[in-house]
Amino acid sequence: MSARKHKNIAKTDQDRIDRLVTSEADDAAAWEPAVRIERSEPASLSEPMLLREVEEKEGEGGYGDLIRSMRASGMPHPQIWHLFAYKP
């Protein structure tokens, strides 16, 4: 099957899906109830830094405050913030 023919088939399938979703979008019976998901404990989505001392030191000032707030909420934060907050 040529690449062009394969692309046309994929486009046709996508068009069918779009028509189906559009036709059911306003029909409340077509949708299932929303599912609420809660974490039992905060999860870290980032890898530990190679500079453990920098990551573990409580920073002061704005970046230290941001890091503490993000950790408390269980959200990941940019690791570069640790470098900005680090003062030996």
pLDDT at 79: 87
- What does pLDDT average to over the chain? 79
Burial class of 67 by CB neighbour count within 10 A (0 to 12, 13 to 18, 19+): buried
Q: Span 49-62, mean pLDDT?
A: 84
Q: What is the pTM of this model?
A: 0.45
Residue type for 17, please? Answer: I
CB 82 within 8 A of CB 74: no
Q: Dump pLDDT digits (tens) for 8-38.
A: 666 778 888 888 888 888 888 877 888 888 8
77 with 66: CB under 8 angstroms?
A: yes
In this predicted structure, what is the pLDDT of residue 2? 55
> For residues 67 and 77, is the Cβ–Cβ distance under 8 A?
yes
